[in-house]
Structure 1
Amino acid sequence: MSHYILSIDQSTQGTKGLLFDENGILIARADKSHRQIINEFGWVGHDPMEILQNTLAVCRRVTEKAGIPKSDIKAAAISNQRETSMMWDRETGKPLDHAIVWQCARAKEICERPEFAALSESFQEKTGLNLSPYFPAPKFTWLMEQIPEARILAKKGRLCCGTIDSWLVYCLTNGRSFKTDYSNASRTGLYHIRNLKWDEELCSAFQVPPDALPEVCMSDSNFGSTTLGGWLDAPIPIHGILGDSHGALFGQDCRLPGQAKVTYGTGSSVMMNLGTEPRISKKGLVTSLAWGLNGRIEYVFEGNLNYTGAVITWLRQDLGLIRTDQEATKRAYEANPNDRTYFVPAFTGLGAPYWDSHATGMFTGITRTTRRNEIAKACLDCIAYQISDLTDLMSEESGFPLSTLRADGGPTASSYLMQFQSDIARVKVQIPDIQELSGMGAAYAAGIAIGLYNADTIYRHIQRKEYAPEMSPMQQEQLYAGWKHAVRQTLHHL
């Protein structure tokens, strides 16, 4: 009999069902996208019920695609888009509204209120985060103030406030389990990352009842059992939960202090393992819990970017300048190498390390010779520049000099982007031969927890392609200085 781990990777654009065998090798994948609900104000939402139905669908589809008996699945795992926030009725399971997606800046007014000005330093010290509409705490406040039913349910002790992982756990266990893991809890802006508990002062400030928040568990805990909506003949345990970026860090085998990875997606996360001691950044990085595994808590530095892969989607879907994502790479190669067009993709403000929610996007350096190829090149280049902003800071503030950056996500298919990333960041960039790193990390956590995988041998099958810096230091300095100048022009507070 063979044994398998079923991993659910619930991301911004869709949901994947992934099956890993007893050697940790991916044998099948099924995908289903969901709607991006964007209104006239630019607010971004997701339908939680659509996400749940898609989750059940891909779990069934991937098992059928693999042609395995469903009784051979021994555990489930979940990796998830992290800061996307929602509320639901604990008794009925009914969502009170669409989930507010992590990209959405509708809560920026809340972060600018005078009462939070005095709280900002304490907020960072406790949570490791910067006060920003990016994180769930102000999103929850927005929901509490805009939805009368939320306040009514809170008084009755029936309100659930959670991120997508806790929503899926709740639904997949038929309401028996309302839990989250350390990685997801540390991203809410309500969790004290040293004391390891929901912070009462912050919960009060953001109008979130502590009893409305999920129980926080080790990432490899048993989060409850599921039959996947009655599809399985016998329940299986949900044994590994990690926020998507944390899952990718674990999947990339960045388990030692100083190791770092970047996940290129709709947005991007650059993350460095700090080990067991937290450090608080003074220059715009955030500190989070990496995970709780095998009884051990570890920390990370992280920088989050709102728009990286989404820039290419915008170039294709909204501007119509390219027909496929691959065409952006082709046009970048064909562009005039001396063109100095820069694009700063501040569609909804800038994330780390600038944290300016009022910044707006800008093309600069355009001349009469700037054409479609040069625009495509600038859009790819801005991804690498944003990542380099973060890797430079991580090396500086952690004390760990970064020589290698492990990369995953769809945009890593662009050889132009990966070489430019290596050149601008002055590091080796390594890309594994598997792209489903977030889901794989959660699956490995689950497999190790149930004794199916050995943590010291499970990564041996991964092969990596490497890019090394080729650009001269002088050219790198000139190009990077031009990027910094372009960013300064977009910042609202300068």
Structure 2
Amino acid sequence: MAEKIIVIDEGTTSTRTMLFDAGGTPLGSAQREFHQHYPGPGLVEHDAAEIWEATLACTREMVARAGGASAVAAIGITNQRETVVFWDRATGEPLAPAIVWQDRRSAADCAALKEAGHEPMVQAKSGLLLDPYFSGTKIGWALAHWPQLKEAGDRLAVGTIESYLVYRLTGGVHVTDASNASRTLLMNLDDRRGWDEELCDLLGVPGTLLPEITGCTTTVGTTDPALFGGAIPITGMAGDQQAATIGQACLTPGQTKATFGTGAFILSASGTTRPHSTNRLLATILVQEGDVRSFALEGSVFVAGSLIQWLRDGLGLLASAGESEGLARSVADNGGVYLVPALAGLGAPHWRPDARAALSGLSFASTKAHVARAALEAQAYQAHDLKSAFAADGVDWAEVRIDGGMAANDWMAQDLADMLDITVERPDFVESTALGAAMLAATGAGLYPDLASAAAAMRGTATRFTPALGADKRKTRLAGWQSALAKVLA
């Protein structure tokens, strides 16, 4: 019986395909970077054809590593959420650029909808807020501004990244999983009948363009045999942040994970009870197994690892992302320097798409080490703001399990523990997103009876960081952050 699992992990800047055994041990990985395009201020796009080509190449490598399609029990897919793709149903080819989750082009539309008083209804139904971050306003904007989409007529298909990949992999299956659907502004979390007609009408998105909503641990189709030399079932799908939460085995209400990748995303599981936030946090579907939906409370920060990338590529202050840790350790403190990383606006709990980044407290004594340290410190400050919002909504964190590329930075992990004043746990295998998708696929393929069993069997060991900073120093640093943040929010 085939027991190897392939995971397609579709990030914001690269595609990666990983091979796992049924116990969660990684057996191989292939990765391709792809381009982000910035056609104007606040605009972020991808070429979906480039993403498909990279995905196909990486997946073929891992099928070969596994020993052929017959050795693979299942494929799991996890993806950058909220990014939308527009393609031709007949050919699978993109009809327009993919609009990336970071894109802010629908900010004016969101502001107008808020001004008209629609946000309470939208939040009550979708669990989300009116922000250009989410897929629905991106789709509405594209349909109104890109003539080629209207010209396509019935040939036009729309979906998030996992939906597009399944379409290409299977040769025409148009589905999305419940976790990704819950990030669109077009789904009623309390209704099992599919897309919400009132929300679709509000955002100008015909439901006929959208995929069918499925569970996260179900067989949605099989790959075209011509792609990999045999058909492989696709049995697990979830958005990247939900997959990371699953990979960290945060399935019990109150368990919390924080992913520090391009952005920072913190989710606390809430079980089968849907959370309702009064502090600008989001309710989202964590996973759907069969007909059973489990939910999470989420706080989303738009800029985390991308800040370090910007220091490296945009400003040339770093030779490599890893250099930031050594620079942070080389100075005794931040020297009064604070960096509010609103390069793509501010997410939770502020939701200010108009906010712009600010670097404050500079003097002739400031060095690039202070700037690098301020960038890393900003991650703990943003997490602290979210911790306060979660606590106000009745979910206080006892500990946090972290992952993502930035989590490999020991200095940052310790700073999180210090500023949050709680234990921070980091898995020794930090690719929690891919591991979570492997758990979903293994469950969907019948290798485990349920997701909890898969998580218990497949999650590995972890390293713990405990608070080591005095209360006075913590208070002083937070006061400096609040002062810098207030200037950005003014």
Place the TM-score, normalised by the shorter chain, in its bin: over 0.9
Partner residue in 2 for 1:260: 256
CA displacement, residues 341-370 of structure 1 (integer Å, 9 cap, x when unaligned)? 110011121111100111111011223311
| Mapped partners of 1:367, 1:333: distance in 2 | 20
SS of 1:113's partner is: helix
What does residue range 202-281 of structure 1 map to in structure 2 within 5 Å?
202-227=199-224, 230-281=226-277
| Mapped partners of 2:3, 2:298: distance in 1 | 35
* Cα pair 1:24 1:453 within 8 Å, conserved: no
Aligned mate of 2:160, from 154, 159, 163: 163
| Mapped partners of 2:417, 2:217: distance in 1 | 34
| Mapped partners of 1:448, 1:62: distance in 2 | 20
1:15 aligned onto 2:11: no
Partner residue in 1 for 2:466: 468
Aligned mate of 1:190, from 186, 191, 207: 186
* Cα pair 2:4 2:66 within 8 Å, conserved: no
| Mapped partners of 2:218, 2:251: distance in 1 | 19
Deviation at 1:114, TM superposition (A): 5.3
Deviation at 1:42, TM superposition (A): 4.2
Partner residue in 1 for 2:420: 425
TM-score, length basis structure 2: 0.96
Partner residue in 2 for 1:449: 444
* Cα pair 1:309 1:383 within 8 Å, conserved: no
| Mapped partners of 1:67, 1:283: distance in 2 | 47
Q: Which moved more, 1:101-110 or 1:115-124?
A: 115-124
* Cα pair 2:66 2:72 within 8 Å, conserved: no
What amino acid sits opposite 2:279 in the alignment?
A: K
CA displacement, residues 102-161 of structure 1 (integer Å, 9 cap, x when unaligned)? 0111111111225763211111111111100111111011101111232243xx433222
Aligned mate of 2:330, from 314, 329, 334: 334
Deviation at 1:67, TM superposition (A): 5.5
| Mapped partners of 1:173, 1:209: distance in 2 | 24
Number of equivalences: 486
1:391 aligned onto 2:390: no
Cα distance change of structure 1 residues 52 and 233 upon mapping to structure 2, 3 Å threshold: same
| Mapped partners of 1:375, 1:450: distance in 2 | 48
| Mapped partners of 2:183, 2:344: distance in 1 | 19
Partner residue in 2 for 1:61: 61
| Mapped partners of 2:39, 2:171: distance in 1 | 32
Cα distance change of structure 1 residues 433 and 459 upon mapping to structure 2, 3 Å threshold: farther
What amino acid sits opposite 1:406 in the alignment?
A: R
Q: Percent identity?
A: 35
* Cα pair 1:104 1:133 within 8 Å, conserved: yes
Partner residue in 1 for 2:287: 291
Partner residue in 1 for 2:146: 147
| Mapped partners of 2:439, 2:335: distance in 1 | 45
| Mapped partners of 1:308, 1:323: distance in 2 | 18
CA displacement, residues 359-384 of structure 1 (integer Å, 9 cap, x when unaligned)? 11101122331111111110111111
CA displacement, residues 462-481 of structure 1 (integer Å, 9 cap, x when unaligned)? 01001011111222122112
What does residue range 471-482 of structure 1 map to in structure 2 within 5 Å?
471-482=469-480
| Mapped partners of 1:262, 1:227: distance in 2 | 36
* Cα pair 1:263 1:409 within 8 Å, conserved: yes
* Cα pair 2:113 2:119 within 8 Å, conserved: no
What amino acid sits opposite 1:71 in the alignment?
A: S
1:199 aligned onto 2:177: no
* Cα pair 1:24 1:458 within 8 Å, conserved: no
* Cα pair 1:140 1:208 within 8 Å, conserved: yes
Partner residue in 1 for 2:36: 36
What does residue range 78-89 of structure 1 map to in structure 2 within 5 Å?
78-89=77-88
| Mapped partners of 1:67, 1:180: distance in 2 | 27
Deviation at 1:395, TM superposition (A): 2.8
Deviation at 1:415, TM superposition (A): 1.1
Deviation at 1:295, TM superposition (A): 3.4
What does residue range 435-446 of structure 1 map to in structure 2 within 5 Å?
435-446=430-441
SS of 2:391's partner is: helix
* Cα pair 1:275 1:299 within 8 Å, conserved: yes
What does residue range 297-316 of structure 1 map to in structure 2 within 5 Å?
297-316=293-312
1:411 aligned onto 2:410: no
SS of 1:405's partner is: strand
SS of 1:58's partner is: helix
What amino acid sits opposite 2:296 in the alignment?
A: V
SS of 1:241's partner is: strand
SS of 2:366's partner is: coil
* Cα pair 1:71 1:232 within 8 Å, conserved: no
SS of 2:257's partner is: strand
| Mapped partners of 1:487, 1:192: distance in 2 | 34
Deviation at 1:484, TM superposition (A): 1.6
In structure 2, the gaps of 5 or more residues are: none
| Mapped partners of 1:488, 1:209: distance in 2 | 40
Cα distance change of structure 1 residues 283 and 72 upon mapping to structure 2, 3 Å threshold: same
What amino acid sits opposite 1:4 in the alignment?
A: K
Partner residue in 2 for 1:320: 316
Partner residue in 2 for 1:136: 135
SS of 1:466's partner is: strand
* Cα pair 1:405 1:429 within 8 Å, conserved: yes
| Mapped partners of 1:57, 1:173: distance in 2 | 16
| Mapped partners of 1:473, 1:41: distance in 2 | 41
| Mapped partners of 2:167, 2:68: distance in 1 | 26
SS of 1:86's partner is: strand
How big is the alpha-carbon RMSD for the aligned residues of Structure 1 and Structure 2? 1.6
Cα distance change of structure 1 residues 73 and 490 upon mapping to structure 2, 3 Å threshold: same
SS of 2:104's partner is: coil
| Mapped partners of 2:392, 2:277: distance in 1 | 10
What amino acid sits opposite 2:122 in the alignment?
A: F
CA displacement, residues 29-72 of structure 1 (integer Å, 9 cap, x when unaligned)? 111111111124341111111111111100111233x3633310
Deviation at 1:93, TM superposition (A): 2.1
Q: Which moved more, 1:386-395 or 1:256-265?
A: 386-395
What amino acid sits opposite 2:231 in the alignment?
A: P
TM-score, length basis structure 1: 0.95
* Cα pair 1:336 1:374 within 8 Å, conserved: no
* Cα pair 1:15 1:55 within 8 Å, conserved: yes
Deviation at 1:294, TM superposition (A): 4.3
What amino acid sits opposite 1:202 in the alignment?
A: L
